[in-house]
Structure 1
Amino acid sequence: MGRRLIVMAAGAGVVVAAGAMLLVSGEQGSRAAGSSARLPALEDPLTGQEVARAGAIASAGSRSHLAAGRTKLLYVERDDDKDSAGHRRADAYLYDYGGDRLIVRTVDLGRGTVVRETVARGVQPPPSKEEENTAAGLLLGDPRYARGLREAYAKAGGGPLRSATALGLRGLIFTPSGESGSARQCETHRCLRLFVRLPDATWLDTSRIVVDLSAKKIHTLEW
């Protein structure tokens, strides 16, 4: 299929596209042409399309691990490296739960390629929304806490709790500091302190609970 033909008659405000003719005002035609031709500037926030594209490119080499849940794409941010030579880039953050490694892949959005990769252990970026939901799902699957959580949710006016996504969640990375017991595994694992907001705007007491995303289990802090 050949290149689509687009012709604009400035005075008449006529647009011909692939054989179809649209009549628009001169001002509207100019505005439409300007918006369609404008590309994001280097300092502009990433568009939704760019975020999705960068995530797909960065994840291409980890698809089997992503499908198995051993690695997850956390989020994508604009890369502000001054050495980008004017190219628009994005940093994709992935976490390998099996090896407890943070993988950051920098994607050149113009070329559609990964131009840099860094791998580090012991580096814990803030949790993603998906990780907060995963942590809440593990909490709901734990027989020690699931019943109390469901009862508190219903009592707060939420009715039956059908999914972790119905909860108001806020997660913070947990780093052990002199703890004993199983929570010491969080020295190397990716672990969250999960704060749960109920429908009546009160917060569930989860102060002793740590969710271990690497081991997929719950630790109870010993005080």
Structure 2
Amino acid sequence: MREKVHRHLGKVLTGAALAAAGTAAMVAVTLPGTAGADDSGGAGGGARAARQTGQGPDAAPPGVVEQAPAEPKRGTGRDPLTDDEIRRVEKLAGAGRLSATARDVSGARGPQRLSTDLAEPEAAEVDDPNAPRRADVTFYDYRTDTLVTRTVDLTTGKVEHTGTQRGVQPPPARAESAEAARILMADPLGAGLKADYKDATGKDLTSPDQLELSGGIYEASPGAQPAVLDRCGEHRCVRLFTKVRNGPWIDTRDLVIDLSARRTAALDRG
């Protein structure tokens, strides 16, 4: 793992050196032309200078920055959900018994929100311009390892449908990737990640906020992983792609974090 970081840092430094060399070459070519323009005299040279600085009768008018129009609180038809609609529908969908019994990725009360999307119209409403706007809000309940999708009518605020599935694992949300990093950092298998981070930055890794994280779902295949990961798919398991903020990647692809069981295991790369 540590070799990966050093190789990447070498590439970063090489890229910076090339960029510096390229800049120096450009300056060497550009400066003589610039000097010639500055030294040119006469009315023609003065007129050109005036136009370049936005002065004189032929100068272009100054640009005007217009403020973007305010987003409406509610969309129409198949418009994307507005920020106001998203906030409202997520609150409605997460209310009731689900908020009391479900648990999120950290173990706190309430389900883990995964996504909020404009729902597809029903078959009889496809050509109806006045069809109701609905949103699908998807949650994961870590207490029961269940995917929950609630469909909410955006006009009435009514939850029209609740669907549940087990063994279905959509991509992880940002909060889940952060929690996976937190679990990894607390595990002995996270020692390499912390050592690589210190090699790259000279600082200790103490929080997922110090990393740029993305994650992918890992699902078990017969005999393809340690026994401790055999329930991945039924459990919600994540592989992390880890990057130092404004720095190199750190290779953690051989580590799988079981968010349901809150433990980490290493895959055999051989």
TM-score (norm 2): 0.63
Q: Which amino acid aligns with 2:160?
A: V
Aligned to 2:267: 221
- Deviation, structure 1 residue 162: 3.4
1:38–1:141 Cα change, 3 Å: closer
C-alpha distance 207-69 of structure 1, shift in aligned 2 (>3 A): same
Change (3 A) 1:50 1:158: farther
- 1:192 shift after superposition: 0.7
Q: Which has the larger radius of gyration?
A: 2
- Is the Cα contact below 8 Å between 1:58 and 1:105 reproduced in 2? yes
Q: Does 1:52 align with 2:87?
A: yes
Which whole-Å CA distance do the structure 2 matches of 1:190 and 1:137 have between them? 15
Q: Would you say 1:154 and 2:198 are equivalent positions?
A: yes
Could you tell me how far 1:217 is from its partner in structure 2? Answer: 1.0
3-state DSSP class of the match of 1:185?
Answer: coil
Contact 1:156/1:199, CA 8 A, preserved across alignment:
no
User: Per-residue CA shift, 1:83-111, capped at 9, x if unaligned?
Assistant: 58511111110111222211100111111
Structure 1 distance, partners of 2:72, 2:90, is 24
Q: For structure 1, which runs of at least 5 residues remain unmatched after alignment?
A: 1-33
1:89 aligns with 2:141: no
Mapping for residues 1-223 of structure 1, pairs under 5 Å: 39-61=74-96, 62-64=98-100, 65-66=102-103, 68-69=107-108, 71-83=111-123, 85=125, 86-145=131-190, 147-157=191-201, 159-178=203-222, 179=224, 180-199=226-245, 201-222=247-268, 223=270
Q: Relative to structure 1, is the Cα distance of residues 112 and 143 closer, same or farther in structure 2, using a 3 angstrom cutoff? A: same
Structure number having the greater helix percentage: 2
3-state secondary structure, aligned to 2:242: strand
Q: Which amino acid aligns with 2:78?
A: E
> Counterparts of 2:121 and 2:210 in 1: how far apart (Å)?
38
Deviations 1:183-216 (A, max 9, x none): 1121411111111012454222212210111111
**Higher RCO (CA < 8 A, seq sep 6+):** 2
Structure-2 separation of matches of 1:101 and 1:131? 15
SS at match of 2:249: coil
Asked whether the 8 Å contact 1:107–1:116 carries over to 2, the reply is yes
In structure 2, the CA distance between the partners of 1:35 and 1:142, relative to structure 1 (3 Å rule), is: closer
Query: Residues 137-179 of structure 1, C-alpha deviation per residue, up to 9 Å, x if partnerless?
Result: 111111331x332232232227333320221111001012232
Cα displacement string for residues 39-60 of structure 1 (whole angstroms, at most 9, x for unaligned residues): 4112111111211111111110
| Partner SS for 2:177 | helix
Q: Aligned with 1:90: secondary structure?
A: strand
Q: Name the SS of the counterpart of 1:186 in structure 2.
A: coil
Normalising by structure 1, report the TM-score.
0.76
SS in 2 for 1:172: strand
Q: Is the 8 A contact 2:136 2:150 kept in 1?
A: yes
Please give the alpha-carbon distance, in whole angstroms, between the structure 2 residues aligned to 1:165 and 1:157.
14
**Higher strand share goes to which structure?**
1
> 1:200 and 1:75 mapped to 2: Cα distance?
27
Q: What is the total number of aligned residue pairs between the two structures?
A: 189
SS in 1 for 2:143: coil
For residues 162 and 187 of structure 1, do their structure 2 counterparts lie closer, same or farther at Cα, with a shift above 3 Å needed? Answer: closer
